[in-house]
Structure 1
Amino acid sequence: MTTNNIRYLYHAETGIELIFCKNSTISYPLHNHVSVLTIGIILDGSVVLTTNKEARTYKQNETFTIFPYEPHSISAHDSYSMLTLCIDKNAVNNTDVITIQKHIGLLLMQALNMGKISHYQILQLLNCLDKTSDSSNWQLKIHPPYIHDLKRQLELYPECKLSVEEMAQNAFLSKYHFIRSFKAEVGLAPHQFQIQNRIRKAQRLIHETDTITEVALTTGFCDQSHFIKQFEKQVGLPPLTYKYSSGIIPQNTSIPSGTLVSFSDTKEI
């Protein structure tokens, strides 16, 4: 029986997030992670991860790495359980490496105590992280100025009403040339990147606003139904289900090693 049980645990101080998918059948369309390094391990079942037009099947106890801005999709042909560790590069830049490593280790211990991961799987994840840390792919790509400025705008203010035609005009390019150039640099078409970042912003705002309609309008969607459809497509869960599946470890909160922290004991993001 598939349940699509997904839980999120976010550490505010370091920008590190653990995502647990249990008995999930959710597939994710082509997207990328802005300034985020993702390391994952398959706990049960298998998924097909496609990056750079290359598809590979990952099975139980196998790890994978997805670098910042790397376009990818995940396909599920049957139910799977997976744990992913998401590390925000911008947050990492403001925190020393030893602190980051400590918090990653403690978060993984929480996963162990919750019975979501084994000692062996923790070692697999840490080995994958160690191999990844020195990779040049972890460094953010330098884009041409007209792409960099627009990309930054779409990351910070995705709710702004800006059509692809207007983007192309601002870059002094034809619409066709602009779309090709943007996709070649960023990995996604401009409108796709814009929608993706609207949903990412909504994932934070959903914990701060009273209604789904307010979140939809604040993030640039014309109506609630369109927002819900796009949210579920990108995240794999309806907005309210996502809201109640998320927990946060606040800043300046220590996590004693070996202590169980359940999602019901954490604050919402």
Structure 2
Amino acid sequence: MKYYKCDKHKIEFAFLDNSCLSFDNHNHISIYAVGLILAGSVVLKKKNVKYALTRDDLFIIPPYMVHSLVPCSDQYSIVTLCIGTEFLATNTLQDGNALFSGLADRLICDGVLDHLHVDAFSAALELVYGMYRQPDYDYSGIISETKDFIEAQPEDTITLDALSQKIFVSKYYLIREFKKIIGLSPHRFQIQNRIRKAQRLLQNGSTVTQTALAMGFYDQSHFIKYFKKIVGITPTEYIYSLEVLD
């Protein structure tokens, strides 16, 4: 696994080469993910529908959509373009395409993508802009407040009792409605957000031990276990997989 990251423009490419990793139900916060299968085949599940994808198939996952990815061949290769909503808010489609093309040149030089792949991503980028202007997700006020609360400080110790008292509902109602709308339980959503924030800390030079403590994990092995489950590789492997794009 290798990450090509451009923090300046809130955009990155994640490259899995000859992988056999599976990714359980999860979602992405404020990110549109555009995946392109380069080799092998996978089954993508979103909105409880399964899609069999093979070489040159492309898919788009909007923010908060719960999805999973399971290989159905011995190995597969995939490049995922991750576009932050901040990128879409601050760049027109024309400017966004220009920035994307410049960053994609690095992957062409590395032999990860070819020009036809870049054209496919460029076409998908136009669709992403359209989806961003007319998002199809909606959250009730109560669940939206809970979601925002967890996202803001995922490292904090947040009990179901405390959450339910904060929004004046029973914890059983909260669990049921949160999972129905967001697709994950509050606990799993919190763990996922801890790991996403941990990725940013590691990228900025924090050690594995420092990051584990900062994110509220009681020991390093516990942190590594969840990190690998969500990201697919260990924190140390993640650090070595990073390549910064200017």
Tell me if TM exceeds 0.5. yes
Query: Do residues 219 (structure 1) and 218 (structure 2) align?
Result: no
Query: Do residues 199 (structure 1) and 213 (structure 2) align?
Result: no
Q: Which deviates more, 228-237 or 45-54?
A: 45-54
Tell me the alpha carbon deviations over residues 85-138 of structure 1, each in whole angstroms, 9 at most, x when there is no partner: 000002331334333211111122221221111222222222222234323686
- Percent of aligned pairs with the same amino acid: 36
**Which amino acid in 2 is paired with 1:9?**
Y
Query: Which residue of structure 2 aligns with residue 69 of structure 1?
Result: 64
Question: 2:88, 2:129 within 8 Å by CA — same for their partners in 1?
Answer: no
Residues of 2 paired with 1:111 and 1:209: CA distance? 24
Query: Which residue of structure 1 aligns with residue 127 of structure 2?
Result: 131
Residues of 2 paired with 1:136 and 1:95: CA distance? 12
Shift of 1:209: 4.7
User: Structure 1's 88 and 191: CA in aligned 2 closer, same or farther, altered over 3 A?
Assistant: same
Tell me the alpha carbon deviations over residues 173-194 of structure 1, each in whole angstroms, 9 at most, x when there is no partner: 1222111111222221111100
Residues of 1 paired with 2:149 and 2:193: CA distance? 10
Secondary structure at the aligned position of 2:9 is classed as coil
User: Structure 1's 71 and 210: CA in aligned 2 closer, same or farther, altered over 3 A?
Assistant: closer
Q: Which runs of 4 or more aligned residues in structure 1 lie more than 6 Å from their structure 2 counterparts after TM superposition? A: none
Residues of 1 paired with 2:233 and 2:134: CA distance? 29
User: Structure 1's 133 and 241: CA in aligned 2 closer, same or farther, altered over 3 A?
Assistant: same
Residues of 1 paired with 2:241 and 2:155: CA distance? 25
Residues of 1 paired with 2:199 and 2:207: CA distance? 13
Match of 1:150 among 130, 146, 153: 146
What is the TM-score when the length of structure 1 is the normalising length? Answer: 0.85
The alignment's C-alpha RMSD in Å is: 1.8
User: Structure 1's 138 and 104: CA in aligned 2 closer, same or farther, altered over 3 A?
Assistant: farther
Secondary structure at the aligned position of 1:233 is classed as helix
**Which amino acid in 1 is paired with 2:126?**
D
Residues of 2 paired with 1:221 and 1:91: CA distance? 31
Query: Which residue of structure 2 aligns with residue 102 of structure 1?
Result: 98
Match of 1:13 among 8, 11, 15: 8
Question: 2:32, 2:128 within 8 Å by CA — same for their partners in 1?
Answer: no
Within 5 A, what are the aligned runs for 1:227-246? 227-246=223-242
Query: Which residue of structure 1 aligns with residue 51 of structure 2?
Result: 56
Query: Which residue of structure 1 aligns with residue 245 of structure 2?
Result: 249
Secondary structure at the aligned position of 1:194 is classed as helix
Residues of 2 paired with 1:202 and 1:210: CA distance? 9
Shift of 1:17: 0.5
User: Structure 1's 223 and 210: CA in aligned 2 closer, same or farther, altered over 3 A?
Assistant: same
Query: Which residue of structure 1 aligns with residue 33 of structure 2?
Result: 38
**Which amino acid in 2 is paired with 1:113?**
C
What is the TM-score when the length of structure 2 is the normalising length? Answer: 0.93
**Which amino acid in 1 is paired with 2:32?**
L
Secondary structure at the aligned position of 1:135 is classed as helix
Question: 1:67, 1:138 within 8 Å by CA — same for their partners in 2?
Answer: no
- Unmatched tracts of structure 2, length 5 or more: none
Between Structure 1 and Structure 2, how many residues are aligned? 245
Residues of 2 paired with 1:173 and 1:241: CA distance? 42
User: Structure 1's 156 and 89: CA in aligned 2 closer, same or farther, altered over 3 A?
Assistant: same
Match of 2:85 among 89, 92, 103: 89
Secondary structure at the aligned position of 1:30 is classed as strand
- Unmatched tracts of structure 1, length 5 or more: 1-5, 251-269
